[in-house]
Structure 1
Amino acid sequence: MIQMDGETGGDKEKVLEKYNFWFLDRNDRCKPDKVSRGVRQMSEGTVPRVMTMSKNREQFWLKLGEFLNQIPVFGHYSSIYGGLTSLYLQFFE
């Protein structure tokens, strides 16, 4: 089983296919050769790190939140209430 967090908008299948981890044909039947390649990549430790627009956006908001929480006074209250990062993740993810 492969889990991919952070991807929204119904593009998970496209992303998995891009990274050679989509194992079904057009009729939703398993493609054993693709499964074998995926297993081999995992055993060799050569699975690429999946980076998507959604994941990049999430990382941006997390870094921005960390930065804002370091600002004196504002950062104190921001961190108490979850900050912009929390608001973003609640409303836009």
Structure 2
Amino acid sequence: MDGETGGNKEQILEKYNFWFLDKNNQCDLVRVEKAIRLVKNGKVTRFISTSKAREQFYLKLGEFMNQIPVFGHYSSIYGGLTSLYLQIF
């Protein structure tokens, strides 16, 4: 969810039925039980956010670059593009 919520993770968690607090900030056991059922039945919504897709792209690109002869050897030693991406973004 990081990078995709606009700073409001509560709304996103509630949207996917994983916000467990009621209006008094007390644990709502009905919500917890519903989430457990969703997980057990494999009904949890799965999505790839734009930030996650970008991260996966750079990781795959880094893996590819590490396979290039000579360059890949030194790239993998120093962490290459993958390391740079994960440190910046």
TM range (shorter): 0.7 to 0.9
Q: Contact 1:19–1:50 (CA<8 Å) still a contact in 2?
A: no
* Percentage of identical aligned residues: 64
Is structure 2 residue 85 aligned with structure 1 residue 59? Answer: no
Match of 1:22 in 2: 19
- The structure showing larger relative contact order (alpha-carbon pairs under 8 Å, at least 6 residues apart) is 1
Match of 2:84 in 1: 87
Pairwise CA distance, 1:11: 4.8
Which of 44, 48, 58 pairs up with 2:45?
48
Which of 6, 31, 35 pairs up with 2:32?
35
| Count, aligned residues | 87
**d(CA) in 2 for partners of 1:77 and 1:91?**
20
Match of 1:7 in 2: 2
- Higher mean Cα deviation, 60-69 or 16-25? 16-25
Larger radius of gyration: 2
Length-normalised TM-score, structure 1 = 0.70
